[in-house]
Structure 1
């Protein structure tokens, strides 16, 4: 369910960005994407260990 909300949020952001209604975060994301993946992975591990 969470992944669906993430996809909806990303789609909305890209649509609004394409229309010029949101700032372009492309350069920021292209620089920080490894850290974003690490944070997502850590949160998944923490969530899984708290469920057990």
Structure 2
């Protein structure tokens, strides 16, 4: 259970780091890609959650 509680923190750190580096011009802008593919990301996350739950029991 502890690893699940840290997952959110790691995601926030990664997203914040990405946006900071992108704002500084060190990384390309992925906003057009995200705005086009965000539904697919939600689907992949949902499928992953289902697979993880089924593999537990």
Deviation at 1:49, TM superposition (A): 1.1
Q: Which runs of 4+ in 1 moved over 3 A?
A: none
Aligned to 2:45: 40
Q: TM-score w.r.t. structure 2 length?
A: 0.84
The structure with the larger Rg is 2
Determine if the alignment matches structure 1 residue 25 to structure 2 residue 30.
yes
Determine if the alignment matches structure 1 residue 7 to structure 2 residue 12.
yes
Deviation at 1:19, TM superposition (A): 0.7
Aligned mates of 1:36, 1:18 — CA distance in 2 = 23
Aligned to 2:48, the other structure's residue is in SS state: helix
Q: TM-score w.r.t. structure 1 length?
A: 0.91
